[in-house]
Amino acid sequence: MSARDADVAVIGLGTMGSMAAWRLTGAGADVIGFEQYGVAHDRGAAGGESRLFRTAYHEGSEYVPMLRRAREMWVELTRASGRPLFTPTGCLSIGLPDIDPMRNVRASIEEHDLEHETLDPDALAHRFPQHAPAAGEIGILDTAGGMLRPELAVLTAAVLARTAGARLFERTPVLAVEPEDDGVAVVTAERTWRARRAVVTTGPWVRELVPSAEVTPKPIVLTWFAPIDVRAYHPGVFPAFIRDTDGHHLFGCPVMDGVSVKAGVADVWPPLTDARELTRDLPEDAIAPVMRSVQRFLPGLHPSPIRHEVHLDGYTADRTALIGPVPGMPDVIVLAGFSGHGFKMAPVFGSIAADLALRGGTGFDIARMDPARFPARFAPGGGAAPAPADH
Ligand SMILES: Cc1cc2nc3c(=O)[nH]c(=O)nc-3n(C[C@H](O)[C@H](O)[C@H](O)COP(=O)(O)OP(=O)(O)OC[C@H]3O[C@@H](n4cnc5c(N)ncnc54)[C@H](O)[C@@H]3O)c2cc1C
């Protein structure tokens, strides 16, 4: 056996990798980490200024225990770092009461006794006139919801990991991860590193190192709109929101930059076969759907965006992440495929990565996230068509 460089190598220091490095060092592990770009860069899944945090969950009530723990961790991290990582604005879900997302929101509330306010159509129109009403729609305000600062959160976790002794190498792409007799070899252009275990958190790029991972890279377009009266969209009066109406899936956050509201729609661009194909130049017709949604549902915003960004996330066919040992490679733990809704739980996923790498198990229920659950690769443009993206 060759001498080891560290207990654990973390590959990809974006959302999940930075949190994993932080939690691993917190558990006393000797950590090395590698990022192909700089920490908190804007080409992956962590860019775009803000992320919605919700506990009453459109995607299913089974996430609530993780979401509750995540909220505690965000509050702790915000306090400990002195940085505004989490802003408790609440999160408003809007839709007809009997659509699946709203049923799941109610199930989350009922099964887990979550604090909330239910707004009937009149109360919704009166309390949040920024949202144009549609017949019969209600609002459910998740009072534990809010918004997160993704770039700052990634940077904070990486700084904390470094302060605790992690050696994190930026602009250092990993070329291969290879199992060895009693550990893993991590190959970079400069040298090969050895660790007891590897945590692969390379997001939309995951198939380059773990070809069996059933993850498809998919662009998400974000757009920012200037309000006619900016005072009506500040965090104190305008919660983060998510809305499903007549096939429109619209989400957004209050003003954070003093001038604009972020609003986005799902599924504007088709999936990519390779994350490196991403172009960040947006054809004009790609913005048209969000402009239509904003014009209809947020009439207090000028309907032409003042800026846009294109980011990537990795999607699985069932929109549930892959978390666990790579089939056939027990010392390589993969966390990928967060399918448009993973950021809010990132500190918990970091803890789970540390649990799996150091103890071989976790107290969180991750059975449904087993990386071995897909019998065949999810083909971009084929197979099961993804449902609208979550956030
Ligand atoms: C625009 C957008 C909006 C979203 N909104 C929300 C929201 O409101 N709420 C929510 O909860 N979730 C949201 N999500 C989802 C969430 O942000 C993602 O699920 C999450 O950030 C995924 O993190 P990740 O660690 O898998 O990927 P990333 O954060 O992209 O991390 C992967 C890292 O690996 C690095 N890497 C890749 N290959 C290599 C290599 N070979 N060597 C070294 N480094 C490598 C990359 O450079 C990158 O830094 C959104 C996603 C997007 C894109």
Query: For residue 376, what pLDDT is reported?
Result: 53
Query: For residue 386, what pLDDT is reported?
Result: 42
Distance 123 CA to ligand 1 centre (A): 37
Residues of the chain with pLDDT under 70: 1-2, 375-391
Contact 315, 339 (CB under 8 A): yes
Query: For residue 138, what pLDDT is reported?
Result: 98
Q: Which numbered atom of ligand 1 lies nearest the CA of 17?
A: 25
Class of domain 88-147+216-314: alpha beta
Residues near ligand 1 with C-beta < 6 Å?
Answer: 11-17, 34-37, 44-46, 48, 51-52, 173-174, 201-205, 208-209, 220, 222, 311-314, 336, 338, 340-344, 391
Distance 122 CA to ligand 1 centre (A): 38
Q: Atom 35, ligand 1: which residue's CA is nearest? A: 12
- Of 288, 186, 242, 231, whose CA–CA distance to 391 is shortest? 242
Query: For residue 326, what pLDDT is reported?
Result: 97
Query: For residue 380, what pLDDT is reported?
Result: 39
Query: For residue 381, what pLDDT is reported?
Result: 40
Q: What is the pLDDT of residues 80-112, one digit of tens each?
A: 999 999 999 999 999 999 999 999 999 999 999
Distance 197 CA to ligand 1 centre (A): 22
Distance 46 CA to ligand 1 centre (A): 5
Query: For residue 378, what pLDDT is reported?
Result: 39
Q: Which numbered atom of ligand 1 lies nearest the CA of 251?
A: 8
d(CA 217, CA 201): 14
Q: Which numbered atom of ligand 1 lies nearest the CA of 172?
A: 43
Q: Percentage of residues in the chain with pLDDT exceeding 70? A: 95
Q: Hey, CA dihedral for 326, 331, 332, 335, is it positive or negative? A: positive
Distance 162 CA to ligand 1 centre (A): 20
Q: Atom 50, ligand 1: which residue's CA is nearest? A: 340
d(CA 32, CA 195): 8
What residues does each domain of the chain span?
Answer: 88-147+216-314
Q: Which numbered atom of ligand 1 lies nearest the CA of 147?
A: 8
Query: For residue 267, what pLDDT is reported?
Result: 72
Q: How far is CA 196 from CA 3, 4, 132, 330, 331, in A?
A: 10, 7, 55, 11, 7
